[in-house]
Amino acid sequence: MSVHVYGLGHIAIEVDDLEKGIAFYQDVFNLEKLDDGEGDAFFKLGEHQFLAMFEVDEVKPDRTRHFALIVRDDKQVMEVREKVGKKYGLTLEPRFRCDFRDPFGNRIQVIDLHDESMVWLLPYQEVQKTGITFSD
C-alpha cells in the first residue's frame, strides 16, 4: 500500500490571548469562525481546510516555521501589508513580499493566486471560479 496525501487538513497555532487572536485573524483575513471552546477556536480556510488556534500560557516563536495563506491578488496582499503595518504595528520580514509575525509570534506568509508556484491549485474549484490563468 502506498500513501496518497490529498491536501492539508488544518494548521494549528498558539496564542497567549484567545480573544485577541480571534479578533486579529477575523480583522486581517476576514476568517469565518467555525467553533470555539475553552481555550481554542477554529476558522475556515478556503473550502477544505481550517485554522486551529489554541491558547497557551507562553508563546515561543520559531525562527523559520510558518504557514502561507493564499489571497486573491496583489491588491489583497497589499491590503494585508498595510493593515498589519499601520493598524497593528507589525514589521514585514525582509526579502519577502508579505511575511510577518502575528502579535503572538506565529510567522505568516501571504501569497496570491497569480504566484506561478500555485499552478498546482488549478484543479480546485475555488481557483477556477476566479478566472485566473498563468502565462507560459
| Whole-number pLDDT of residue 78 | 94
| Sheet containing 99-101: order of strands | 66-71, 107-112, 99-101
Distance CA 27, CA 21 (A): 10
Mean pLDDT of the chain: 85
- 51 Cβ neighbours under 8 A, 6+ residues apart: 10, 11, 12, 13, 25, 31, 42, 43, 45
Domain spans in the chain, listed from the N-terminal domain onward:
10-128
Query: pTM score, two decimals?
Result: 0.77
10-128: CATH class: alpha beta
| Whole-number pLDDT of residue 15 | 95
Question: Vertex 45, ends 108 and 31: CA angle to 5°?
Answer: 80
Q: What is the mean pLDDT of residues 2-22?
A: 85
Q: What percent of the chain has pLDDT over 70?
A: 80
Q: What is the mean pLDDT of residues 41-47?
A: 89
Q: Which residue has the higher pLDDT, 128 or 88?
A: 88
Which residue's C-alpha cell is 505568516?
108
